[in-house]
Amino acid sequence: MSLFKWVFQDWAVNDGYRDSQLILAWFRLAQRAHSGGGLVGRLFCVFYRLFTSLFLAIEIPAEATVGPRLRIYHPHSIVLNPGVVIGADCILRQNVTVGNVVRRDGTEKGVASVGDGVEFGAGCVVVGAIHVGDHARIAALALVLDDVPPRGVMMGNPARLVRVDNPASANGMVTPASATSRTDSSNG
Ligand SMILES: CC(C)(COP(=O)(O)OP(=O)(O)OC[C@H]1O[C@@H](n2cnc3c(N)ncnc32)[C@H](O)[C@@H]1OP(=O)(O)O)[C@@H](O)C(=O)NCCC(=O)NCCS
């Protein structure tokens, strides 16, 4: 897909959020520079990382795999690990972290991967070698350490699966997650 098309798609879903649109265009440019390789591309990525971290106070690395039509509401203090994989049509909010866990002995647990259409609430942290299924919703301030099923809703610290949304239900809302092993947990 051309750079123009990436940017156009991001801009369309972030209509009205000029800050998010500009940041996403900046990020897609860095992504393109990173994938293109070469000295100029690498130098640009160094500049991108420093500028984005120091002046925009976010870390969305050029190395990260981020699908099209990302929405960002309030683009502040967002931190993504360079190894993260995020699908299409996701939503990030302020203070979201998707990253790694480093154990006391220095070894790493790995980085989360995220499916399509996942919504991250403000201030949530999603870490470790886990997978967040398609269309899951991560509540504001949740700390997610375990896999999330598709359309799962995670809340609390540590986050628990409180339900699995059912797209086929009449009100578009939920099926109680009582069939899962974690539903007796509190909301955190
Ligand atoms: C996770 C989320 C998507 C669920 O939305 P929802 O399905 O409409 O859930 P409801 O608001 O009906 O709340 C259901 C229950 O979860 C609780 N809850 C909601 N959000 C919660 C959270 N972040 N942490 C803990 N519990 C939460 C509610 O108190 C309610 O509890 P109750 O049933 O005992 O009354 C939503 O709560 C959320 O966190 N969205 C992110 C919003 C955000 O970050 N906004 C930032 C704007 S700048």
Phi-psi region of 100 (alpha: psi -120 to 50; beta: other; left: phi over 0): beta
Nearest CA to ligand 1 atom 47: 122
pLDDT at position 73 over 70: yes
Taking Cα atoms as reference points, which of 180, 170, 104 lies closest to residue 146? Answer: 180
Range of the domain at 128: 3-171
| Residue 75 lies inside a defined structural domain of this protein | yes
- List pLDDT tens digits, range 84-106: 999 999 999 999 999 999 999 99
| Residue 181 lies inside a defined structural domain of this protein | no
- Rounded distance from Cα 119 to ligand 1 centre (Å): 12
- Rounded distance from Cα 133 to ligand 1 centre (Å): 19
Task: State the CATH number of the domain containing residue 100.
Answer: 2.160.10.10
| Residue 94 lies inside a defined structural domain of this protein | yes
pLDDT at position 169 over 80: no
CA angle 100, 180, 128 (to 5 degrees): 5
pLDDT mean over 130-151: 98
Residues at CB less than 6 angstroms from ligand 1:
74, 93, 121-122, 137, 139-141, 153, 155-156, 187-188
Structure tokens at 83: 């190894």
| Residue 57 lies inside a defined structural domain of this protein | yes
pLDDT at position 178 over 90: no
For a substitution probing ligand 1, which of 71, 73, 118, 155 has the most ligand atoms within 8 Å of its CB? 155
**Contact criterion met (CB below 8 Å) for 14 and 20:** yes
Nearest CA to ligand 1 atom 4: 139
**155: helix, coil or strand?**
strand
| Residue 184 lies inside a defined structural domain of this protein | no
Model pTM score: 0.89
| Residue 46 lies inside a defined structural domain of this protein | yes
| Residue 180 lies inside a defined structural domain of this protein | no
Q: Residue 137: CA atoms inside 13 Å, Cβ hemisphere, count?
A: 11
| Residue 9 lies inside a defined structural domain of this protein | yes
Domain count for the chain: 1
In one-letter notation, the amino acid at residue 95 is N
User: How far apart (Å, rounded) are the C-alpha atoms in residues 25 and 3?
Assistant: 9
Per-chain mean pLDDT for the chain? 90
pLDDT at position 13 over 50: yes
User: How far apart (Å, rounded) are the C-alpha atoms in residues 59 and 76?
Assistant: 9
User: How far apart (Å, rounded) are the C-alpha atoms in residues 91 and 166?
Assistant: 19
